[in-house]
Amino acid sequence: MGVATYIKDEKDAIQEVVLQSGIKVKPVYTPEDLDRVGFDYGKDLADPGEFPFTRGIHPLGFRSRNWTTRQYTGFGTPEETNERFKLMISHGQTGLNVAFDLPTQMGYDSDDPMAEGEVGRVGMAIDSLRDFEMAFKDIQLNRIGSGLTINAVASIMLAMYEAVAEKFGYKKTEISATPQNDILKEIVGRGAWIYPVEPAVRLIGDTIEYAMKELPKCNPVSVAGYHIRESGCTPAQEISYALMIAFAYIDNVVARGYKAEDCVGRFSFNLNIYGNLWETVAKFRAARKLWARLLRERYDVQNKKALFLRGIFGGGGSGMTKQQPENNIMRGAYYALGAALSGAQTTALCSFDEAYTIPTERAALLSLRTFQILMDEIGLRDTVDPLAGSYFIETLTKEMEEKILEEMEKVEKVGGMVEAISSGYVQREVSRQAYEFEKKIQDGNVTKVGVNKYTEGVDMEVELHEHNEEWAQLQIDRLKELKRDRDNKAVNESLKALEKAAREKTNVMPYLVDCCKAYATVGEMSNVFRDVFGEYVEPSIF
């Protein structure tokens, strides 16, 4: 699968395989390897649906329920995105995974000078509740869940989702939304942050607390190790950092007087699939086990369902290449296979053209069909955890578990995840790994087909999803119309109430809902927080 270092002798026979997490792979595994790592069926594996959930969280796995398909979707205007939502749903997609443009992610309205050239480019532009009304028109919000891939302004988007559901006649108790809402991974892996670490984590705590009381079917945070992995960390680091980030959010809620058990059942994860198939499977099996075990040990969580590691296992942007892009169709199929063998609850694939462009309809449907073929033709739903009991997989899972714990211990030594990110420790580690990995690709020590091996052949022409500048002007014109026609007195009053709540450290979520209903804009609400909290300043990591 490529993401491993192969050391060869002069006859070109592979003598040693070292996975990216630093685990050496033997040519042959026997029962002696299970003894070597101290494997115990009850403690390390158990039955499906039983603690520590290594074999999955459901007793019958995919026999009892299929995984949710949730392709990442969104571009241009809300109307364009609504059309793509309906297209994917009509072809069998069972969940939404909403992409927002960069200005929206950064809390800027479409008419802000900072937004110029980016409106609707990498996702849909959202300025106010009016845009959500268009984006989710005719979508049955009580029957289909929506992942909102947004972080710094996730509290605003969750409030807006509640407001649009109410506008359409749905009760807030029957809607399901999962804002990504993981600002710590943004600081490490993407850079789409706005506010300093402490108030940014406080906003996440506000969304968790509010969802516990008001939005029983919503998952208020999706811890996204995915993006840290995309930025260059190893699979073991991805899980260790994701778990430590989740603990930071749990600690914020516990400090408010709640028990961890009250909220962790609503946590979800967004984790990455690309590279070596076996390392990927072992990573997810070890992650489920460690999440359940550490929740019991650290927070005394006893409720069985609260111990489930749930989430979207998606793959995998970093695995896709511009060279010979049709190869990405095969890569995507193997990533989907890895997700299925790992026991994913929800999956999404990067389409074959994503190294070039926002997926075209054809590419998006090919990714969806890939999942459907695996579900309905190949036999992956026949039995639970088909790799269980493999000498190799069980040994590798135990070794992966140890690697994850080693990385977690390093973070603990520098003061925990918030301090490790504030000081730049995690960013330095990820940058170092990214550099070393890229060097191995360039040196040929890590094989990338079509890039550094089997490079002969003609690259196909990829259909580009052209950005339409008229979309931006349409969005700006509508925003001006909104600001002219709305009740600006009500808007100003709602924004003042929001500012007061932010300064007094009151939970801001009810006030954000009121702002959204008054048609305050994303930029106006974000600027309230900018005035109160300030903006984040990156530490030097070099």
Q: How confident is the model at residue 12 (pLDDT cuts 50, 70, 90)?
A: low
Contact 82, 96 (CB under 8 A): no
Percent of the chain that is helix, strand, coil (3-state, to 5)? 50, 10, 40
pLDDT tens-place string over residues 17-55: 999 999 999 999 999 999 999 999 999 999 999 999 999
Q: Which residues contact 293 (CB under 8 A, 6 or more apart)?
A: 52
Using alpha carbons, list the distances in angstroms from residue 444 to 7, 130, 230, 401: 11, 51, 20, 29
Q: How many helices (H) and strands (E) does the chain have?
A: 20, 12
Q: Which helix (H) or strand (E) holds 147?
A: strand 146-149
Cis upstream peptide for 52 (omega within 30°): yes
Q: Which two tokens stand for residue 344?
A: 């994913």
Q: How confident is the model at residue 1 (pLDDT cuts 50, 70, 90)?
A: very low
Which residue has tokens 């793509």? 84
How far is 539 from 517, CA to CA, in rounded Å?
Answer: 38
Q: Which DSSP state fits 18? A: E
Which pTM does this prediction carry?
A: 0.93
Closest listed residue to residue 448, CA positions, set 253, 303, 274: 274
Mean pLDDT of 131-151: 95
Contact 225, 185 (CB under 8 A): yes
Mean pLDDT of 92-118: 93
Q: What burial class does residue 490 get, using C-beta atoms within 10 Å of its C-beta: 0-12 exposed, 13-18 middle, 19+ buried?
A: middle
pLDDT tens-place string over residues 459-518: 777 777 677 788 899 999 999 999 999 999 999 999 999 999 999 999 999 999 999 999
**414 CA to centre of own chain:** 25
How far is 290 from 349, CA to CA, in rounded Å?
Answer: 25
How far is 221 from 507, CA to CA, in rounded Å?
Answer: 16
How far is 449 from 188, CA to CA, in rounded Å?
Answer: 29
Where do the domains of the chain lie?
Answer: 24-66+180-443, 486-533
Flag whether pLDDT at 521 surpasses 50.
yes
pLDDT tens-place string over residues 60-82: 999 998 888 888 888 888 998 99
pLDDT for position 475:
95
User: For 330-431, where are the E strands, in sequence order?
Assistant: 346-349
Q: How confident is the model at residue 214 (pLDDT cuts 50, 70, 90)?
A: very high
Architecture of domain 24-66+180-443: Alpha-Beta Barrel (3.20)
pLDDT for position 11:
57
Contact 188, 421 (CB under 8 A): yes
How far is 322 from 345, CA to CA, in rounded Å?
Answer: 29
Phi and psi at 390, nearest 5°, equal -65, 130
pLDDT tens-place string over residues 392-410: 999 999 999 999 999 999 9
Flag whether pLDDT at 414 surpasses 70.
yes
Contact 133, 56 (CB under 8 A): no
Neighbours of 43 (CB within 10 A): 13
- Secondary structure of 480-536 in HEC code, one letter for each residue: HHHHHHCCHHHHHHHHHHHHHHHHCCCCCHHHHHHHHHCCCCHHHHHHHHHHHHCCC
* Percent share of the chain, pLDDT over 70: 97
